[in-house]
Every structure is written in C-alpha cells, then in structure tokens.
Amino acid sequence: MTRIPFFDIVRDAMRGAKRTQTDAVESKAGEAEETPRRRVMIVGNPNVGKSVLFNRLTGHYMVVSNYPGTTVEVARGRMRLGETLYEVVDTPGMYSLRPLSEEERVGRALILNEAADAVLHVADAKNLERMLPFTLQLIEAGLPVILVVNMMDEAERIGVKIDMEALQDAVGVPVVGTAVLSGRGLEELRNAIDEFIRSRTPAAVSV
Ligand SMILES: Nc1nc2c(ncn2[C@@H]2O[C@H](COP(=O)(O)OP(=O)(O)OP(=O)(O)O)[C@@H](O)[C@H]2O)c(=O)[nH]1
Ligand SMILES: [Mg+2]
C-alpha cells in the first residue's frame, strides 16, 4: 500500500481549491454579463427572408433550441442599438395566428407569450397583397408591428412597384423596404426599430 504524504494531500487539496476559485471568478464574470432589456420578434410566412434578416441583425452569436415539447427550432440572438441590448427571436414560418401546423403553434405561442417590444413582420414584396392580411391580424392583436417589405430586389426585377409611404399610411405602422440578402434597407430598419421603441417608451420624468 502506498502512503501519500500529508503534505501532498494538502497541496492537491489546495490545487483543487484554486481551481474552484478560478471557476467561481469565471462564472461570476458570466453572471455579470449584460442581459438584454428589450426583445424583437421576427415573424412572417415561410421563405420570406426571416432567418437571413435574423443573421444580419444579430451577427454570429445565436442559441438554437427546440421549443419546449416540440421538434420546432427557435433561434435567439442579440443586437445592440445605441445603448440598448436586444434579444432577437427568429420564429418558424406561419401564415396566420390561427395555427394549423406545429410550426404555426410554436410561432403563435412565441408571439403571444413572449412580450416583444417590436414584432417585425417580414413580407415578400413580390406577393405583398397575400401577406398583408397577416400584418393586419398582428396589428389587431395589439402587437407592436413594424412591416418589413423584403425581397425588394426581386420585386423590382419583375416590375413590381410599391409606394411605401402610401402603404405606411394605409396600415398605420412603420414600413421599411429591404433586400436583406444584400443588406439593403438594414440601416433604415435598425433606425426604425430604435425610433419605434423610443416613441412607445414613456420618457423618464426629470425632477
Ligand atoms: N433575392 C433575395 N433573396 C432573399 C432575400 N432575403 C432572403 N432571400 C433568400 O430567400 C430564401 C429564404 O430565406 P430565409 O431567410 O431562409 O427565409 P425564412 O423566412 O427564414 O424561411 P422559413 O424559416 O422557412 O420560414 C433564401 O434562399 C434566402 O437567401 C432578399 O432580400 N432578396
Ligand atoms: Mg427561417
């Protein structure tokens, strides 16, 4: 039987203690990390560019997880606008708030259960008329909607022209035209989100 000298035992114990201390410092640093104060939810029909927009807004950092009790994946990332850190949520494609598929059930649950400061309804500029009823449904549900008319490049290519100002007057919410694949309209969209949220947040009372 090998006897371990008392000194070695103490030294090993100290090493362990040191490691634990370092771990504690690291996890404390993790805890001190800023948590997002606002949330932006990206919604819309399948295949309209939601995930491309999500990637453009959030960069590379994202967490993908199954929505509880389903096989539907939901991606979450972060975006900073000015001083404010946002959580950005990419939802599965859906056609309306009346769910038919599992994806739509998850989309609806996300929209209705996770309070968003802005709901970006991404619509395909080529088929805008077909998409507007969903925009109106979201507005009627009392959600803070910004309409993102995406795929402007493709729409223009086939000769579709959209009067954004008239559209904005008609729907009564901010409207931004984008072609997110090339980055077109993104700066305008970021500004619109920032402005929209400021306009809805009561100013702090100065004494
Ligand atoms: N030309 C063009 N293509 C785009 C644009 N935005 C997205 N796409 C393309 O459209 C396809 C669908 O984009 P996604 O971002 O996956 O669409 P999605 O809305 O997330 O689709 P689901 O997750 O299935 O609901 C991809 O091939 C994109 O590269 C755009 O502004 N212009
Ligand atoms: Mg997607």
What is the C-alpha to C-alpha distance for residues 154 and 193, in angstroms, rounded to an integer?
Answer: 24
pTM recorded for the entire structure: 0.84
Predicted confidence at residue 27, as pLDDT, reads 41
Predicted confidence at residue 26, as pLDDT, reads 40
Measured from the CB, is residue 46 less than 6 Å from ligand 1?
yes
Q: What is the DSSP string of 31-98?
A: HHSPPPSEEEEEE-STTSSHHHHHHHHHTT-EEEEEPTTSS-EEEEEEEEETTEEEEEEEPPP-S-SS
C-alpha triplet 121, 190, 98: angle, nearest 5°: 15
**pLDDT by position in tens, the chain (length 207):** 555 554 454 444 444 444 433 333 344 444 457 889 899 999 999 999 999 999 999 997 899 999 999 999 999 999 999 989 999 999 999 999 988 999 999 999 999 999 999 999 999 999 999 999 999 999 999 999 999 999 999 999 999 999 999 999 999 999 999 999 999 999 999 999 999 999 987 766 665
What is the C-alpha to C-alpha distance for residues 55 and 60, in angstroms, rounded to an integer?
Answer: 7
Report which DSSP code applies to 151.
-
Neighbours of ion ligand 2 (CB under 5 A): 50-51
Q: Which residue's alpha carbon is nearest to atom 28 within ligand 1?
A: 49
Secondary structure of residue 130 in the 3-state scheme: helix
Report which DSSP code applies to 144.
-
Q: Which fold has domain 35-199?
A: Rossmann fold (3.40.50)
Predicted confidence at residue 61, as pLDDT, reads 83
Distance 124 CA to ligand 1 centre (A): 9
Predicted confidence at residue 205, as pLDDT, reads 66
Atom of ligand 1 nearest to the CA of 184: 31
Predicted confidence at residue 60, as pLDDT, reads 76
Domain ranges of the chain: 35-199
Measured from the CB, is residue 150 less than 6 Å from ligand 1?
yes
